Structure 1
């Protein structure tokens, strides 16, 4: 049975009208769907959308594939940018759904607003050495594009949700791209927290980008409460964190901003050699 039946049956059950489709860009699927929804909202083609992502491990296939590529964690922990990393991932299951509308409509209708999406960008690595060898240039480019679309500057971003590949190559590429795009070595700017949901709940495959998005939105909304980052207790040696403005919080912290400015979060979702996606809200 084709994947299209998933979206079709949901629409039939709830009597949804309008576009109903499945988007598959691996880890960034939910965020790619969010990009399509926000584009349609801005163009006036729709007035609201439900964007969801789901990952269920109904067979050992995913574990077999990751094991064959030698990218499953050997100690049962998902470590990101950490010396103790065994170079592998822990798989998880999850479902995440968000409703999106134009801000003006949500205010008019008296909706409970959790966050505002400021900018989303997507691109592709193109040709690389392999799926586990991402393109630094592509990652940096898509982050800068999303930042520009959001109308924000590096100094405005207080929290960054990492993609977190869990391997030295992928994590090194990501932190270098983030460092250049967000000017993370400029210690004259305010500190910025880095974190990731994957060490908490595992890699949710197609739902991982949506899980990261929900974590960011709730961190912005609930008084700026940033959940603890359960990795990088001993940051790896591929980046000089001591000479940066990066902070890792080991317990929940209150997110304070200079002069009571709005809280702004960003996230990255980088599938294996696929569509790179960056979002600001």
Structure 2
């Protein structure tokens, strides 16, 4: 069946390598490192991402950095609505056109919001998203992810594609050498796990590093307060604990607590060995410690 026939029947005609380049040339788009732009051009890959996200007809999906629309088209096939946040004005302008051309029966499911995902607020979105599914710009992936999880508590499921090394850090468990600030902070919002690996050849331009999928399931019942003030206190402790990874927590947290003696007191009150190091603590331990401040 041809792509126009597929589109006419209500399914999206996904983008392949040739279509991605044609659209980029038509719109005058040249991928930039500054915006972390690497466009997926493989239909099987975007279908795999959607499947790993586990989204369906009940979901309103937030997509960050939709680019030329590869993942957007695959999402529109299976969800109720897609809210695409795009900072590039040219890409934001042309995305509805691409969707109308390649999935006319699904075009009304798409809303494009031209905004910086690092600063986008819930009030800017037409509805509360239930899921975040995105190929995040690699240069700002972690801060974007943490901002969106904090700003949009309606997001129950997250499936993001990031640089493989960042995926490892996000999903690392305490005691692992890659465990650190991203791991502990992501764990504040829910359970985090690796959901697959993506090679370089499915992108244009081809990146120099492999990619990884990370899935985050928000806690159905939060084990601690999720308000901004509490989150800020916990994140402050996490930052301090990992600022000097080789030091014991007693020494690393001396600045945060006011002195090494006070740091030791707070650590013992939270049931934590003062001679331990930050990479041995799970998020719950950091939450207990923040409560001693």
- Give the structure-2-normalised TM-score: 0.29
Q: Rg: which structure is higher?
A: 2
More helix by share: 2
